[in-house]
Amino acid sequence: MAKKIVLYDTTLRDGAQAEEVSFSLDDKLRIAETLDDLGVHYIEGGWPGSNPRDEAFFKEARKLKLKQAKLSAFGSTHHPKNPPSKDNNVKLLLSAKTPCVTVVGKTWDMQAKKVLGVSNKRNLELIHDTIAYLKKHVDEVVFDAEHFFDGYKNNPDYALSSLEAAIDGGADCLCLCETNGGALPFDVGRVVAVVAEKFPKVTLGIHCHNDSETGVANSLAAVTAGATQVQGTINGIGERCGNANLCSVIPNLQLKMGYKVVSAAQLKKIGKVSSLVYELANMAMRPHQPYVGKSAFAHKGGIHVSAVRKTPMAYEHIEPEAVGAKRRVLVSDLSGKGNVLTKAHEFGISLEGRDDATKKILSQLKEREAGGLLFEGAEASFELLMKKALGQWKKKFDIVRARVVSSFSNEQGDNWAEAVIKVRLPDGSYAHSVAEGNGPVNALDSAIRTALVNYYPELSDVTLHDFKVRMLDDSKSASKTRVLIESGDGETRWGTVGASENIIEASWQALLDSLEYKLHRSASKPKNKKRAK
């Protein structure tokens, strides 16, 4: 029977030390509840002695109805000048009233001498006495053996003696910390195996940083060598280059190494947990992040897509559904027939057995991308392309005339624009509108929707969420500009694209595709036929 692996999350403490990350009290409480729902066993809430927010968290966290996770407060060994009973940081640790307390102590003799400024012997006393005192008041004490792997490398006897001091003090778990993030998996595995053999009755943990891009690999190597507690953070956020990423550690342990650390249903939630932490940390999601990234199961090359259509395992190491993800097929100038057929199926368009139509769409796709368009983030534009090629597209309006005038003032900082639009509607009538905006694209957007909204009231729900511009300087499309627009209507979002030597023209193409897409996918019919003359 495989040994039980315990997950110890330190997103709220170590993760919060990442550059530009600052969780509010409400953020920390929400993340704690989410981690509990994911199945994490221990949640390190923070350092009560370091700031008022962490102290407030532990007070409020007592009101949480956690289903399985235990909260842990984090702190250091007592000050060399104070006994544990009179040390303020130790008192604050106990005031958190958590069932578990984690204490960090020096295990590298250089750190004891040069950072703490104490003798090797005194450092061992700090470790022993702090843990012994805390064990009188709390159920569990975890000893975070800071810099253990560097300490072992430079003075193995002293590093091991620091663990003996923690054991003699009553520590329930020895967590070996790869604090500087410089070790490699074979080093970590070898050292953990030595510790496991020397202290066979003690629970071992592993806490890795990612400075050598090996935080996850080092954690897995430690488990193989005998560690049963794994510490890390969601998305690997943390100081410097971050910590071991639990969004990779958990599925690797469960799907690749055979340990059941969470339930199958909980594992499917890991992507949502990742997204929540990114959102609350105000960080951009990493699309190429393993398991939970948007691109983790995205296929672009024609050969890859053709194979995946036959058997997904051809280019996927797990079933995406196991981690709550979905397979995605991208379209580009690298696409083959399989890409087109897959997207047609997603759009509800039947292309099976229609080789000529498929070839026509594929040809147009490659031609448009060679001209500067990019359909990866603009699938609404690609759906329109397919429907036009198949004769399934019907014009909803014609642009008779469009003009935009823009001006700015260096002194006042204005960016004023005015757009004039005239459109012909399906019944042969015309609509004319004038609108001002904060820039030409905003003015055009306001004008076209003002002209159409009486005939197509569903357009009133459309909002522009994102606008991206890229200058194209490759030989295929020299001096062109590509514009990607993301739009939404409260229910869903869609992307459209335009490309031209003129940035306003490129924006106009993407904007018109956005409105055309909304009208073609909308099930509503025109209700109010009053319109401007």
Mean pLDDT within 177-184: 97
Contact predicate 294/287, CB 8 Å: yes
What is the rounded average pLDDT of the residues 343-349?
84
Residues 201 and 305 in one domain: no
Looking at residue 521, its pLDDT comes to 78
Question: 209 with 348, same domain?
Answer: no
Q: Looking at the domain assignment, is residue 23 inside a domain?
A: yes
pLDDT at residue 409 above 80?
Answer: no
Q: Which of 21-25, 363-367, 416-420 has the highest mean pLDDT?
A: 21-25
Domain assignment of residue 1, yes or no: no
pLDDT band at 412 (very low <50, low <70, confident <90, very high): low
My answer on whether 223 and 187 are in the same domain is yes
Is residue 31 within 8 A of residue 11, CB to CB? The reply is yes
C-alpha separations of 86 from 27, 33, 83, 93, 96 in Å: 33, 33, 6, 12, 16
Question: CA end-to-end span of the chain, whole Å?
Answer: 79
In a domain, 461, yes or no: yes
Residue 436 counted as domain residue? yes
**Are residues 302 and 268 located together in one domain of the fold?**
no
Question: What percentage of the chain carries pLDDT values higher than 90?
Answer: 66
- CB of 60 closer than 8 Å to CB of 53: no
pLDDT in tens, 217-251: 999 999 999 999 999 999 999 999 999 999 999 99
Residues 275, 306 within the same domain: no
Q: For residues 533 and 523, give the distance between their C-alpha atoms in angstroms, rounded to a whole number.
A: 27
The Cα angle at residue 43 between residues 279 and 191, in degrees rounded to 5: 110
CATH assignment at residue 433: 3.30.160.270
Establish if 290 belongs to a structural domain.
Answer: no
* Overall domain count for the chain: 3
Q: pLDDT value at position 473?
A: 65
Q: Are residues 265 and 406 in the same domain?
A: no
81 and 204 in a single domain? The answer is yes
The model's confidence at residue 429, banded by pLDDT at 50, 70 and 90, is very high
- Read off the DSSP letter of residue 472: E
> What DSSP string describes 208-272?
EB-TTS-HHHHHHHHHHHT--EEEEBGGG--STT-B-BHHHHHHIIIIIS----S-HHHHTTHHH
For residues 122, 179, 219, 77, the Cα torsion angle rounded to the nearest 10 degrees is: 40
Indicate whether 320 and 461 sit together in one domain. no
Beta bridge partners of 9: 43, 232
Give the pLDDT of residue 441. Answer: 86
Q: Which of 280, 314, 333 is the C-terminal boundary of a domain? A: 280
Answer whether residue 529 is part of any domain.
Answer: no
Structure tokens at 291: 């398991």
Prediction pTM value: 0.78
If asked whether residues 105 and 148 sit together in one domain, one would say: yes
In a domain, 389, yes or no: no
Among 250, 280, 310, give the residue marking a domain's end.
Answer: 280
Confidence label for 466 from pLDDT (cuts 50, 70 and 90): confident
Task: Answer with the one of 232, 248, 280 that is the final residue of a domain.
Answer: 280
Q: Please write the tens of the pLDDT for every residue from 99-113.
A: 999 999 999 999 999
Output the CA–CA distances (angstroms, integers) from residue 380 to 106, 108, 320, 422, 506, in the order listed: 57, 58, 24, 25, 16
Q: 178-203: buried (b, 16+ CB within 10 Å) or exposed (e) per residue?
A: bbebebebebbbebbbebbeebeebb
Contact 79, 107 (CB under 8 A): no
DSSP class of 496: E
Q: How far apart are CA 367 and CA 178, in angstroms?
A: 52
Beta carbons within 8 Å of 360's beta carbon, 6+ residues apart: 389
Are residue 155 and residue 216 in the same domain, yes or no?
yes
Q: What is the CATH number of the domain that holds 166?
A: 3.20.20.70
Mean pLDDT of 210-219: 98
**Residues 313, 455 share a domain:** no
Q: What is the mean pLDDT of residues 378-386?
A: 88
Residue 146's domain comprises 6-280
For residue 387, being part of any structural domain is answered with no
Check if the beta carbon of residue 27 is closer than 8 Å to that of residue 280: yes
Averaged confidence pLDDT in the chain: 90
Q: What is the pLDDT of residue 421?
A: 93
Whether residues 102 and 152 share a domain: the answer is yes
Distance, in Å, from the CA atom of 511 to the CA atom of 449, rounded to the nearest integer, reads 10
